[in-house]
Amino acid sequence: MLKRHARAACTALATAGLLLAATGGATASDAPRPAAASAAETLRTADAQPELLAAMRRDLGLTATQARTRLAHEAEAGATAARLRDRLGAAFAGAWLDGADAGTLTVATTRAADTAAIRAAGAEAKLVGRSLSDLDAAKSALDRAAGAETPVRYVDTRTNTLVIEETRPGAAARLLAATGTDSALVKVVRTAEAPRPLYDLRGGDAYYMNGSGRCSVGFPVTKGTTQGFATAGHCGRAGTTTSGFNQVAQGSFQASVFPGNDMAWVAANSSWTSTPYVKGSGGANVQVTGSVLQPVGSSVCRSGSTTGWHCGTVQQHNTSVTYPEGTISGVTRTTVCAEPGDSGGSYISGSQAQGVTSGGSGNCSSGGTTFFQPLNPILSAYGLTLKTTGSDPGPGPGPGDPEPGGTWKAGAVYATGATVTHGGATYRCLQGHQAQTGWEPPAVPALWQRL
């Protein structure tokens, strides 16, 4: 099956495109369009740098060739899963990757009639009893009532269950009773460690708050002509001043949310310039080319000022975590280790920015679980532009102004399901990302579906 999927990964976009385009009629925009790039080309997986490949070798046991293959499979599988999610609608029950090279994509559905289309797109089909939206709704009810004794809740798409981690026997049962949640939906996991924010600040470099506590830079950004970076909200509040890794005055927090989410951004003074890099192994620069969130099972690497550069895999998206300070929702659970001081630092998959370190449990000696706040909501909430090594979207049209030929706009952050027009046609976003020049909808079928 791995070989079949490896071949299918190269054709899945075209196959899925044919399946989905069958419902669309000809339009006046059927003029020649730009050549479409594959998902791997769009996400530039072939440009993965040696530092990232070396960390994947160390933490995932892969050779450089296997790591490159895995990154390409992850990109193609992410695009295929996004198309299938769009096609399946309410019946979609999740997608995930398996295999050392991420060569097997599985897509779950509650509708038996969908399995043929899933297999035709090159994925394994799994028929389950509960949709992802139903399980997410049940989790939301638990999130509103959860406390410190049930610190982590997430949907495990592989088992089609809602998982509750409890630190004391009976805590999950009490939460279920308080919310009226059906216990048949739930798997309870005992845990000895409760997550906590990783206090104690190019991505991954240290910064200091009010001259004392330390966190890590997430991703360098710009806002107009202002340079700065995204980081974790628990590291500081609006007005908190920062100094850089060299203890030179750096800037101040402009906005911060924690709990609820764990997001913030710092505006730097004129002595600092945003760069499109994350600090990799040995201090080498790892390039950032975009912000496409990768699917469950994908490899992901983290840079932080305490423990440096470590890799693992994505376990679940849209996880909720209750820290002593309160609950945060919408974070991603990973197998990457982290320690205090790594907070706010960068998570990157290939060259795609994923998010900033929030908290976790364990450490980088014995291993642990960590959570990151996805980056795209931070960019969207604060109107920031991720600094990338690709084409710079530049200032573009003014706020609210359409791009020539449609409403798609370079620099805008698009969530899955958003619709735009471009060149007279309408497109729906398949994978959330910040748009940039060269990623116009007709050219990147990994990110956009023409309607």
Q: Write down the catalytic residue from 5, 73, 234, 317.
A: 234
8 A C-beta contact, residue 41 and residue 409? no
8 A C-beta contact, residue 308 and residue 179? no
Task: Report how far residue 319's alpha carbon sits from residue 97's, in angstroms, rounded to the nearest whole number.
Answer: 18
8 A C-beta contact, residue 50 and residue 65? no
Q: Write down the catalytic residue from 281, 320, 343, 346.
A: 343
Tokens of 261: 């989410």
CA distances from 406 to 102, 365, 384, 426 (A): 36, 52, 22, 9
DSSP class of residue 46?
Answer: G
Tokens of 15: 């196959």
Q: Write down the catalytic residue from 156, 262, 281, 346.
A: 262
Please list, residue by residue across 251-282, b when 16 or more beta carbons sit within 10 angstroms of its beta carbon and e when fewer do: bbbbebbbbebbbbbbbbeeebebbbbbbbbe
Return the HEC string of 143-200. HHHCCCCCCEEEEECCCCEEEEEECCCCHHHHHHHHHCCCHHHEEEEECCCCCEECCC
Task: Report how far residue 155's alpha carbon sits from residue 138's, in angstroms, rounded to the nearest whole number.
Answer: 9
Task: Report how far residue 280's alpha carbon sits from residue 278's, in angstroms, rounded to the nearest whole number.
Answer: 6
* CA 321 from centre of chain: 16
| Active site (annotated) includes residue 262 | yes
SS3 252: strand
**E strand residue ranges, 364-451:** 367-374, 385-386, 413-414, 419-422, 425-429, 433-434, 448-450
| Active site (annotated) includes residue 252 | no
SS3 135: helix
H/E run at residue 94: strand 92-98
Tokens of 354: 């994923």
Measured distance between the N- and C-terminal CA atoms of the chain, rounded to whole angstroms: 32
| Active site (annotated) includes residue 365 | no
Residues annotated as part of the active site: 234, 262, 343
